[in-house]
Amino acid sequence: MTETATRLVPFDEALTRYEPVIGLETHVELGTRSKMFCGCPTTFGAEPNTQVCPVCLGLPGSLPVTNAAAIEFTIRIGLALNCTIASWCRFARKNYFYPDMPKNFQISQYDEPLCTDGWLDVDVQSDDGPARVVRVEIERVHLEEDTGKSLHKGGSTGRIHGADYSLVDYNRAGIPLVEIVTKPVPGTGALAPQAGRAYVTELRDLLRALGVSDVRMEEGSLRADVNTSLAPAGSGRWGTRTETKNVNSLRSVERAIRYEIERQAATLDAGHRVMQETRHFHEDSGITTAGRSKEEAQDYRYFPEPDLVPIAPSPDWVAELRASLPELPSARRARLQSEWALSDLDMAALAHADALDLVAGTVAAGATPADARKWWLGELRQRANAVGVELSALSITPAQVARVSELVASGVLNDQLARQVLDAVLGGEGSPDDIVRDRQLAIVSDDSALLAAVDDAIDAHPDVAGKVRGGKTQAAGVLVGAVMKATRGRADATRVRELILDRLGAA
């Protein structure tokens, strides 16, 4: 089914007439060893249907038993998000039929979530201008079980539309899922797309710091649904919101919000109403398309899960968990900024490049903060951009970068050689030390070896040598270049220059 070309209003123009309100629903796969209600493993990538049992397959007669670690992780998430932890709550059944749900109901939470009413402060960076702090309020954090995964066969795209049949793998069914729902976030204006992205980024970092999930969007352990609505500027009311799914990266969060603003603005400009619906984000084109409108009519017939008993976390236990929370990302950033004596702008640059952990790791491995930043934001970022990946995806570790930095600081390498070493590490040739040794990249530090090259250069350029002897020390540059070439760069240029001038009596 083809769509007629969707009208869009350019973003900046849309923002002159409309105010966006955004909301985000994220699902986090918890990194527990076993599943939510049974002892099956949760490891990613196993052979299909090898990590299942009567419980997560929902076989007749099976019963769920709650994973204590999942409760603990969820409470810690709630505490880190400044939520109130329920003193008593229950699981509920969400009833609907779908082949990836073995029981045709999902054990979730409905009107009694484990955590409510929190907040997360997020630094939102625009491309020009200072960072703004946006307080994103959290409506609820609750626990549920994940579904199985389907492969759709027979259609041309592997998507569900046009498929002839599907193949279901239940390995993922029953993995604990935490759902974090924000309250609507008004007032971000033109920063709405970045605000959405910044929130998901900050949330991801917080979850990683808590150690509750590996939060990899590309593996599906962190999933985001984005809600967007527009209302006429100054109207004081909120518009109808759409929910956009299949947002699989941080960048997509930003793009999806942006697109929805442009699309909804065109709809409203034309005098039409925005339909409340679920939309699907397309990575390749950056657009959203309408999903199945059937989903809107769902009555999930929630009722308290009779196979599970209520959860009543004791105040002592909650206090214990609160006391054991690790340093949260925002606090860590403030501390590092202070330790490294960085300006807000410099700090923001690190965040923007998603380089904070990498730099911190490099500093921890012995580099100075300045050097660490220089390498990551300079040479390495160039290389990452050249192949279109994130910094963290480069095949070099903070420890290796620190080693290269140390080799330069101790005079074994100069900057140019260091760049060669970095490329070799990225190319998989081994550790920095291996490479220096194997390729003989170390600077020649022995003057006597250099002097031979110096003499050769002087002999080869008598007129230049003459000028230098005559007092034109700048001309020595040519001779330095010749020596560097002769030694294939394995010389300290400053030292070479000293030797030349000394040799020519012009020191």
Partner 1 sequence: MSITRDEVAHLARLARIALTDAELDHFAGQLDVIISAVARVQEVTAEGIPATSHAVPLTNVFRPDELTECLTAEAALAAAPAVEDQRFRVPRILAEE
Partner 2 sequence: MTAELTRMTAAQLASAIAAGEVSATEVTRAHLDRVAAVDGQVHAFLHVPSELALAAARMVDDRRAAGQPLGPLAGVPVAVKDVFATADMPTTCGSRILDGWQPPYESTVTRRLREAGAIVLGKTNMDEFAMGSSTENSAFGPSRNPWDLTRVPGGSSGGSSAAVTAFETPLGIGTDTGGSIRQPGAVCGIVGVKPTYGGSSRYGVVAFASSLDTPGPLARTVLDAALLHEAMSGHDPCDSTSIDAPVPPVVAAARQANVEGMRIGVVTELSGEGYQPGVLTRFGEAVELLESLGAKITEVSCPHFVYALPAYYLIAPSECSSNLARFDAMRYGLRAGDDGTRSAEEVMSLTREMGFGAEVKRRIMLGTYALSSGYYDAYYGKAQQVRTLVIRDFEAAFEQVDVLVSPSTPTTAFKVGERVDDPIAMYLADLCTIPSDLAGNAALSVPCGLAPDDGLPVGLQVMAPVLADDRAYRVGAAVEAALTERWGHPLLDEAPALAAGPGRSGTDD
Q: Which residue ranges make up the site for partner 2 (CB under 8 A)? A: 54, 57-66, 93, 95, 97, 99, 102-105, 166, 168, 299, 301-303, 306-309
Q: Is 124 helix (H, G, I), strand (E, B) or coil?
A: strand
Q: Pick from partner 2, partner 1, none: which does 33 bind, CB < 5 to 8 A by kind?
A: partner 1
Q: Which two tokens stand for residue 300?
A: 């999930």
Q: How far is the CB of 94 from partner 1 (least distance, A)?
A: 14
Window 63-92: contact mask with partner 1 (x via CB under 8 A): --xxxxxxx----------------x-x--
The answer to whether residue 52 forms part of the interface with partner 1 (CB under 8 A) is yes
Q: Pick from partner 2, partner 1, none: which does 152 bind, CB < 5 to 8 A by kind?
A: partner 1
Stretch that binds partner 1, among 38-46, 216-224, 407-415, 476-484 (CB under 8 A): 38-46
- Host H or E run for residue 108: strand 105-108
Q: How far is the CB of 312 from partner 2 (least distance, A)?
A: 14
Q: How far is the CB of 49 from partner 1 (least distance, A)?
A: 4
DSSP string, 209-245: HHTS----GGGTSEEEEEEEEEEETT--S----EEEE
Q: Which two tokens stand for residue 494?
A: 């400053």
d(CA 418, CA 433): 11
Q: Pick from partner 2, partner 1, none: which does 312 bind, CB < 5 to 8 A by kind?
A: partner 1
d(CA 261, CA 499): 65
Nearer to partner 1, 51 or 405 (CB): 51
Residues 121-150 that bind partner 1 (CB under 8 A): 150
Q: Pick from partner 1, partner 2, none: which does 169 bind, CB < 5 to 8 A by kind?
A: partner 1
Which residue in the set 233, 275, 290, 312 belongs to the binding site for partner 1 (CB under 8 A)? 312
What stretches of 236-328 show up as alpha helix (H) in DSSP?
250-269, 315-323
- Residue 478 burial (CB count, 10 A): 18
Q: How far is CA 439 from the centre of its chain?
A: 35
The answer to whether residue 271 forms part of the interface with partner 1 (CB under 8 A) is no
Nearer to partner 1, 313 or 329 (CB): 313
Nearer to partner 1, 1 or 345 (CB): 1
Residue whose structure tokens are 């070896």: 449
Q: Are 441 and 421 in contact (CB under 8 A)?
A: yes
Q: Are 72 and 314 in contact (CB under 8 A)?
A: no
Pairing, β 242-247 against β 278-281 = parallel
The answer to whether residue 365 forms part of the interface with partner 1 (CB under 8 A) is no
Q: Which two tokens stand for residue 126?
A: 């625009």
Query: Contacts with partner 1: how many residues (CB under 8 A)?
Result: 54
Q: Positive or negative, the Cα torsion across 118, 220, 307, 94?
A: positive
- β partners of residue 27: 179, 223
Q: Pick from partner 1, partner 2, none: which does 32 bind, CB < 5 to 8 A by kind?
A: partner 1
Nearer to partner 1, 320 or 502 (CB): 320
Q: How far is the CB of 62 from partner 2 (least distance, A)?
A: 7
d(CA 56, CA 36): 9
Q: Pick from partner 1, partner 2, none: which does 63 bind, CB < 5 to 8 A by kind?
A: partner 2
Q: Which residues contact 164 (CB under 8 A, 6 or more apart)?
A: 153, 154, 155
Stretch that binds partner 1, among 139-147, 182-190, 259-267, 301-309 (CB under 8 A): 301-309
Closest listed residue to residue 165, CA positions, set 175, 176, 179, 151: 151
The answer to whether residue 459 forms part of the interface with partner 1 (CB under 8 A) is no
Stretch that binds partner 1, among 282-290, 307-315, 341-349, 483-491 (CB under 8 A): 307-315
Stretch that binds partner 1, among 30-38, 74-82, 243-251, 488-496 (CB under 8 A): 30-38
The answer to whether residue 293 forms part of the interface with partner 1 (CB under 8 A) is no
Q: Positive or negative, the Cα torsion across 53, 58, 60, 61?
A: positive
Q: Pick from partner 2, partner 1, none: which does 62 bind, CB < 5 to 8 A by kind?
A: partner 2
The answer to whether residue 320 forms part of the interface with partner 1 (CB under 8 A) is no
Q: Which two tokens stand for residue 50?
A: 């090898």
d(CA 151, CA 154): 10
Residue whose structure tokens are 């009543």: 312
Q: How far is the CB of 40 from partner 1 (least distance, A)?
A: 5
Window 172-191: contact mask with partner 1 (x via CB under 8 A): --------------------
The answer to whether residue 233 forms part of the interface with partner 1 (CB under 8 A) is no
User: How many CA atoms within 13 Å lie on the side-chain side of 155?
Assistant: 13
Q: Pick from partner 2, partner 1, none: which does 103 bind, CB < 5 to 8 A by kind?
A: partner 2
Phi-psi category of residue 117: left, alpha or beta, with phi > 0 → left and psi -120 to 50 → alpha: left
The answer to whether residue 506 forms part of the interface with partner 1 (CB under 8 A) is no
d(CA 261, CA 187): 14
Which residue in the set 6, 130, 151, 286 belongs to the binding site for partner 1 (CB under 8 A)? 151
d(CA 28, CA 44): 14
Q: Are 302 and 94 in contact (CB under 8 A)?
A: yes
Contact residues for partner 1, defined by CB under 8 A:
1, 32-34, 38-41, 47-54, 57, 65-71, 88, 90, 97-99, 150-152, 154, 160-161, 163-170, 292, 299, 303-304, 306, 308-313
